[in-house]
């Protein structure tokens, strides 16, 4: 893994637009983690502009706050905008086109969240397309996502770049021989697929295991309630713990006490939790979606997405086959040695910012 380089704060300043609440421990996300880590690693002065609003569906006041923030940016400056904000506000971006060099960072296309009403999907995609065509350049977090936004919005390939997430160095986890300590990290939303995980675990209830599910519970209350109901229905209450969001030392401790990370997402543009697990040599079982294979890099098993039977089969193999556990642990250690750090991500972004 590449060691993080200390920022030297040389060259032109970068104005970085992020959603307000980026550091709120009650609402962690991969996008917020990426933004914060890149701001710390950029080899240039950073001027952070945190804009409050109900992104990605802002009201007029939020749009006015974004416009005011961009108005305060000097002419000709480089601006890196989180896509959750920028893709929701094409009209604001248009007003500043040509005056600043706007680069939009797309973590997840706005219409790709599962469980959205078709009208919401159509509206979000229309706004996103207009915003990305306005931007000077677009940065995505994986090769898969780059191809996705090019096809979805008919963008010129030459204007779309990739800056994969880095990962912080971490100590290797002390694995439990039986591999029974399972961990899932992510908000309880249809996109993250924890309902599929509960159904898969119900199919292997005859084996010994426990699951810690760490992530916000309030993003989609109805879905979270359905997941809880499924846990109760299958009699798994004593084996599945919904911890709520974990950050900092609490999240580190969760990884340190895990034998296997499970990522059942229906959609995933990269999967930063995958590399966070691999940084500790924790193997991964994940759905074969989006950019997950790029993040995994051979450090685990990929299964058919959206299929609880396939996920259950992989989990049963992990729990019953010591040879498989040994092989996956060796693969995770190998992948750990090949992970990039946030300095690599920052260098990729700096190549796009003038």
Q: For 39-48, how does the pLDDT look when each residue is reduced to its tens digit (9 = 90+)?
A: 999 999 999 9
State the Cα–Cα distance between residues 113 and 104, nearest whole angstrom: 19
Residue of 103, 129, 89 whose CA lies nearest to 42: 103
Which pLDDT score, from 0 to 100, does residue 241 have?
A: 97
Burial string for 189-227 (b: 16+ CB within 10 Å, else e) reads bbbbbbbbbbbbbbbbeeeebebbbbbbbebbeebbebb
Cite the residue boundaries of each domain of the chain with CATH code 3.40.50.2000: 14-166+341-350, 181-336
Residue 37, CA atoms < 13 Å, CB-side half-sphere: 24
Confidence band of 179 (pLDDT split at 50, 70, 90): very high
Residue 4 has pLDDT above 80, yes or no: no
- CATH architecture type of domain 181-336: 3-Layer(aba) Sandwich (3.40)
Which pLDDT score, from 0 to 100, does residue 12 have?
A: 87
Average pLDDT, the chain: 95
Q: For 75-123, how does the pLDDT look when each residue is reduced to its tens digit (9 = 90+)?
A: 999 999 999 999 999 999 999 999 999 999 999 999 999 999 999 999 9
Residue of 185, 339, 341 whose CA lies nearest to 260: 185
3-class DSSP assignment, residue 146: helix
Q: For 244-268, how does the pLDDT look when each residue is reduced to its tens digit (9 = 90+)?
A: 999 999 999 999 999 999 999 999 9
Q: 14-166+341-350: which CATH topology?
A: Rossmann fold (3.40.50)
In the predicted model, what is the mean pLDDT of residues 180-192?
Answer: 97
Q: For 291-335, how does the pLDDT look when each residue is reduced to its tens digit (9 = 90+)?
A: 999 999 999 999 999 999 999 999 999 999 999 999 999 999 999
Percentage of the chain exceeding pLDDT 70 = 97
Range in 7-11, 168-172, 221-225, 276-280 with the lowest mean pLDDT: 7-11
pTM of the model: 0.93
* Length of the chain, in residues: 354
In the predicted model, what is the mean pLDDT of residues 53-73?
Answer: 97
């Amino acid at each position: 893994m590449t060691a993080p380089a200390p920022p030297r704060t040389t060259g032109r300043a970068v104005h970085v637009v992020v959603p307000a609440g980026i550091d709120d421990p009650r609402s962690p996300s991969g996008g917020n983690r990426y933004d914060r880590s890149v701001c710390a690693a950029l080899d240039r002065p950073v001027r952070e502009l945190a804009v409050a609003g109900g992104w990605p569906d802002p009201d007029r006041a939020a749009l006015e706050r974004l416009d005011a923030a961009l108005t305060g940016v000097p002419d000709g400056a480089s601006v890196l905008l989180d896509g959750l904000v920028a893709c929701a506000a094409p009209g604001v971006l248009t007003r500043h086109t040509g005056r600043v060099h706007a680069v939009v960072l797309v973590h997840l296309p706005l219409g790709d969240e599962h469980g959205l009403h078709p009208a919401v999907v159509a509206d979000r995609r229309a706004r996103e397309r207009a915003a990305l065509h306005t931007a000077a350049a677009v940065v995505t977090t994986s090769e898969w996502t780059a191809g996705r936004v090019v096809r979805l919005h008919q963008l010129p390939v030459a204007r779309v770049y990739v800056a994969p997430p880095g990962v912080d160095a971490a100590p290797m986890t002390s694995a439990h021989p039986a591999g029974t300590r399972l961990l899932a990290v992510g908000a309880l939303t249809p996109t993250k697929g924890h309902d599929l995980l509960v159904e898969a675990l119900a199919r292997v209830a005859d084996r010994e295991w426990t699951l810690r599910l760490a992530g916000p519970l309030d993003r989609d209350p109805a879905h979270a309630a359905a997941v809880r109901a499924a846990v109760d229905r299958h009699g798994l209450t004593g084996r599945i713990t919904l911890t709520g969001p974990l950050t900092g030392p609490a999240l580190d401790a969760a990884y340190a006490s895990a034998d296997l990370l499970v990522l059942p997402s229906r959609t995933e543009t990269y999967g930063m939790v995958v590399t966070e697990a691999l940084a500790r040599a924790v193997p991964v079982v994940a759905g074969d979606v989006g950019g997950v294979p790029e993040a995994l890099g051979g450090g685990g098993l990929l299964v058919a997405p959206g299929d609880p039977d396939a996920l259950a089969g992989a989990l049963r193999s992990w729990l019953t086959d010591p040879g498989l556990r040994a092989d996956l642990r060796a693969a995770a250690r190998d992948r750990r040695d090949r992970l990039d750090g946030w300095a690599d991500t920052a260098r990729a972004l700096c190549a796009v910012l003038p």
